[in-house]
Structure 1
Amino acid sequence: MYQSKYNIIQNSKNKVIVYNTFSGGIISLNQEEFSVLNGIEKDAYDSNNKHALLYDELLRGNFIETEYGEQLNKLKFESYYSRYSKNEISLTIAPTTNCNFRCPYCYEKGIKYEDMSDEVVKNVIDFINSQNTDVINICWYGGEPLLEIDTIEKIIKGIRKDGLTINNSIVTNGYLLDGCVRDKLKELNILNIQITIDGPEFIHDKRRFRFDGGKTFRAIIENITHLCKDAHISLRVNVDKTNIGYIDNLMEYLEKEGILDNVHIYLAPVDDINMSLPNSDDLYINYDENDFTLKQKDFLKRMLLKNGDDIFEERNPYLCGAVSPHSLLIDPLGDLYKCWNDIGRKEYKIGNIKDGVVESDKLYKWLSYDPFRDEECINCSVFPICLNGCPYSVIRKNKKICDSNKNNYKELLTTFL
């Protein structure tokens, strides 16, 4: 037997906490038990061994493996299977690239505003109905997709549903989620919703304002209040050095409003994807240990104390839809892309919804992406939940960005000591 390379260990005089990123398991050991774990490679498994029950528990939580490398091999299998098996298809559909906000850090800056025509709507419906699959995952995207809620309805109602499971989600700024739209989303079964709030009111309204400069915070909060008990809402907080000091203020406000317990909240560093931000010195794009990761650690500590071990991520073998042949992004013109960051940028399109995908190097770069060829990464303790990081960063920028929690999890485990 061998100790898992995906164990993160926090040690004290009397107790050791071990978190395994492969299984998501957390175990508390005394020093004698920890010495057994550390010496596991020297001992053969024996059911009569006095430590047999401990061995069984360590195996159950994947803190040890029976054959060296079996966890890595399973990660490979899960990743390749999820990418290339055709039991489900994932589509990101942008019915519009228009938006009612003018956020200064928007990576879609410079993209021409387009809405989906009736012809493209028909082509999208025909494309979906032509798929031989049991499951279709649709993420409605933009621009602001709720500007074209009627288009979304047309497409969903045009899909033949015999024997087909459809999972809908939506990425929205939340401003248009009034009573009528909320009712429409419930009717269409779009109840997995991502909304962005960038801090308390006076911070958010400086960063996420309407096209006419108008404020948005209060309307979004009111909409979330009405919807959060009926839908699964993820609150994304885009952070840079100018607003990260106000996260606690936002959390306290959401708790006071009765929202915090009914949403999932997470931080996302602002990245200058298209090199268009004038104040790039304010960004956390390098995930410097003394910058974003330390700030995120404070945030996660608070969430850990509030929610227990829910902050620890589970491995997701799917990695990213951009590297799967069964995942596509459809823009309002019906053009096809692999990555959300490429939407509307014609030089990166890989085909059109009517004519299909065109085989080219632009496509092969995504489909041949292999997170398992980086020796340093596959031996990293957080690899099962990171899988080499964002493929876009590697493919477009030739830059590997490590999981921001790489240096946080060990210290977060002190909470259990």
Structure 2
Amino acid sequence: MIKEVSSDWERSYKSITFIVTKDCQLACKYCYLVGKNAKERMSWDVAKKTIDYILNNHSFFNEEAVVWDFIGGEPFLEIDLIDKICDYIKTEMFRLCHPWFDNYRFNFSTNGINYNSEKIQSFIKKNITHLSIGITIDGTKRKHDLNRIWKTEDMERGVVPNQSEEKGSYDDVVKNIPLWLEQFPGAGTKVTISSADIPYIKESVLHLYSLGIHEVNINCVFEDVWKEGDDELFENQLMDLADAIIDSGYYQDYACSFFTEHMGKPMDCQMDNQNWCGAGRMLAVDAEGNFYPCTRFAQYSLRSKKAWIIGNVRDGIDKNKLRPFLTLDRCTQSTQECIDCEVASGCAWCQGENYDAADTPTIYQRSTAICKMHKARVRANNYYWNKLYRKLEKEGEREAFENNKPKSNAPKC
């Protein structure tokens, strides 16, 4: 019998990502994957060689635990391959008496469209004790369908459809949310914010709560898409959301990653100089068997730079190509303005976007496209916590809240 994973193992784990396909049923407008296609699919041979290389190099892959992550495109389009990969991983870890045998997780982020299919449900039942699945639903039908639209044959030929011809995917996803929450009652969803959907943030978070989703993790896109005045609209939406969460008591049982108590403070590079992103400490492999420090360094993720390959399944990892990532921290890639910023804590970045947006092929130039959005979030965040604690102190409930407040498991990227 396989032991259920405890929470302690997450203190030290390796994240290994299989890019099993670059295909997807959707053509989300904000998607950073600019090179999606239906042709590049991982073979069993590449997958097996990857697993063998990793499991037989314990001196290099020496973390206490592992997350085997599967992405696309849409990973569940390759459920037969994934099922075979996971079976092989389990049997090999057992055969090798590998330290990861009782300390692993299979992780998926899916658009949820084919979640209720027979093959996927069979896979879930077989692996449920070591499985995490997040379904992406962006909020209300209006917000979700604004960006998360079905791909068409015209799109595959490079033809952009008129807005009136777009078909949203909300109805196809929301029908599977009850089954997903029944199987993963503590699961959270990940919402993406771009310029066009700022006006729908408040109603979307509340809508997701109404569906029974207790944890809503939200990120602004890191790309330079923000328009004049977006930060003000963003702040107003977050303040309206703060009012709704506090006035209706959602804060007791629900979490929204936009409101994080310990953020928006100065940073001390001598005391807290960690890299926000885990690139270089993760490993991703694509259909060709190439290794990357993160999926954002694969070619289908990059607009203007060449892929940053650190090895392959035949030759293994080239540590010299990985070395630059191991020296990354906040100060080595930030401008002095960012280092001295009074609200620096909690300001995120994506290493892949840093590389793609840089003036030269470097990972040491931090992209600051979300600077004004972070500052707007900090102002709204301060409003949220000031209002919440005034309410709790007035009602004599602050101590009880401190002992029982929900914790967000928002991913760092």
Q: TM-score, normalised by structure 2?
A: 0.66
In structure 2, do the counterparts of structure 1 residues 301 and 330 end up closer, same or farther at CA, with 3 Å as the change threshold? farther
**Preserved contact between residue 267 and residue 296 of structure 1 (Cα < 8 Å):** no
The equivalent position to 2:328 in structure 1, one of 369, 383, 391, is 369
Q: Give 1:107's aligned residue.
A: 32
Q: Out of 135-144 and 155-164, give the one that drifted further.
A: 155-164
Q: Give 2:401's aligned residue.
A: none
Output the CA distance in 1 between the equivalents of 2:244 and 2:345: 24
Output the CA distance in 2 between the equivalents of 1:287 and 1:135: 44
Q: CA deviation at 1:271?
A: 4.4
Output the CA distance in 2 between the equivalents of 1:266 and 1:352: 33
**Preserved contact between residue 228 and residue 263 of structure 1 (Cα < 8 Å):** no
In structure 2, do the counterparts of structure 1 residues 321 and 251 end up closer, same or farther at CA, with 3 Å as the change threshold? closer
Q: CA deviation at 1:111?
A: 4.2
Cα-to-partner distance string for 1:245-286 (whole Å, 9 max, x where unaligned) = 223433454444xx23x341133223447xxxxxx4xx46x9
**Secondary structure of the equivalent of 1:229?**
helix
- Tell me whether 1:357 sits opposite 2:322 in the alignment: no
- Tell me whether 1:118 sits opposite 2:44 in the alignment: yes
> Higher relative contact order by CA 8 Å / sep ≥ 6: 1 or 2?
1
The equivalent position to 1:150 in structure 2, one of 55, 80, 88, is 80
Output the CA distance in 2 between the equivalents of 1:352 and 1:89: 18
| 1:64-103 equivalent positions in 2, closer than 5 A | 88-103=13-28
Q: CA deviation at 1:218?
A: 1.7
Q: Give 1:264's aligned residue.
A: 215
Q: Which has the larger radius of gyration?
A: 1
Q: Give 1:312's aligned residue.
A: 260
In structure 2, do the counterparts of structure 1 residues 393 and 365 end up closer, same or farther at CA, with 3 Å as the change threshold? farther
- Tell me whether 1:238 sits opposite 2:238 in the alignment: no
In structure 2, do the counterparts of structure 1 residues 255 and 97 end up closer, same or farther at CA, with 3 Å as the change threshold? same
- Tell me whether 1:138 sits opposite 2:98 in the alignment: no
**Secondary structure of the equivalent of 1:237?**
strand
In structure 2, do the counterparts of structure 1 residues 244 and 197 end up closer, same or farther at CA, with 3 Å as the change threshold? farther
Identity of aligned residues (%): 26
In structure 2, do the counterparts of structure 1 residues 365 and 396 end up closer, same or farther at CA, with 3 Å as the change threshold? farther
**Secondary structure of the equivalent of 2:15?**
strand
Q: Give 2:3's aligned residue.
A: none
Q: CA deviation at 1:337?
A: 1.3
Q: CA deviation at 1:409?
A: 2.7
In structure 2, do the counterparts of structure 1 residues 214 and 187 end up closer, same or farther at CA, with 3 Å as the change threshold? farther
Cα-to-partner distance string for 1:36-78 (whole Å, 9 max, x where unaligned) = xxxxxxxxxxxxxxxxxxxxxxxxxxxxxxxxxxxxxxxxxxx
Q: What amino acid does structure 1 have at the position aligned with 2:138? A: D
**Preserved contact between residue 331 and residue 344 of structure 1 (Cα < 8 Å):** no
- Tell me whether 1:407 sits opposite 2:379 in the alignment: yes
Q: CA deviation at 1:89?
A: 1.8
Q: CA deviation at 1:179?
A: 4.8
The equivalent position to 1:296 in structure 2, one of 235, 238, 251, is 238
Q: Give 1:184's aligned residue.
A: 123
Q: Give 1:338's aligned residue.
A: 293
In structure 2, do the counterparts of structure 1 residues 126 and 251 end up closer, same or farther at CA, with 3 Å as the change threshold? same
Q: CA deviation at 1:121?
A: 1.8
Q: CA deviation at 1:288?
A: 6.1
Tell me how many residue pairs correspond in the alignment. Answer: 317
**Secondary structure of the equivalent of 2:109?**
strand
Output the CA distance in 1 between the equivalents of 2:229 and 2:220: 8
Q: CA deviation at 1:414?
A: 2.1
**Preserved contact between residue 140 and residue 208 of structure 2 (Cα < 8 Å):** no
Q: CA deviation at 1:384?
A: 5.4
**Preserved contact between residue 196 and residue 235 of structure 1 (Cα < 8 Å):** yes
Q: CA deviation at 1:177?
A: 0.6
**Secondary structure of the equivalent of 1:210?**
coil
Q: Out of 300-309 and 373-382, give the one that drifted further.
A: 373-382
Q: CA deviation at 1:91?
A: 0.8
Q: CA deviation at 1:123?
A: 0.9
In structure 2, do the counterparts of structure 1 residues 188 and 332 end up closer, same or farther at CA, with 3 Å as the change threshold? farther
In structure 2, do the counterparts of structure 1 residues 146 and 372 end up closer, same or farther at CA, with 3 Å as the change threshold? same
**Preserved contact between residue 191 and residue 230 of structure 1 (Cα < 8 Å):** no
- Tell me whether 1:200 sits opposite 2:144 in the alignment: no
**Secondary structure of the equivalent of 1:243?**
helix
Output the CA distance in 1 between the equivalents of 2:312 and 2:79: 22
**Preserved contact between residue 323 and residue 369 of structure 1 (Cα < 8 Å):** no
Q: CA deviation at 1:171?
A: 1.2
Cα-to-partner distance string for 1:68-95 (whole Å, 9 max, x where unaligned) = xxxxxxxxxxxxxx9xx9x532112211
Q: CA deviation at 1:293?
A: 4.2
The equivalent position to 2:284 in structure 1, one of 326, 329, 344, is 329
Greater strand fraction, Structure 1 or Structure 2: 1
Cα-to-partner distance string for 1:195-217 (whole Å, 9 max, x where unaligned) = 32234224423421222365421
Output the CA distance in 1 between the equivalents of 2:14 and 2:125: 23
Q: CA deviation at 1:224?
A: 1.3
Q: What amino acid does structure 1 have at the position aligned with 2:232? A: N
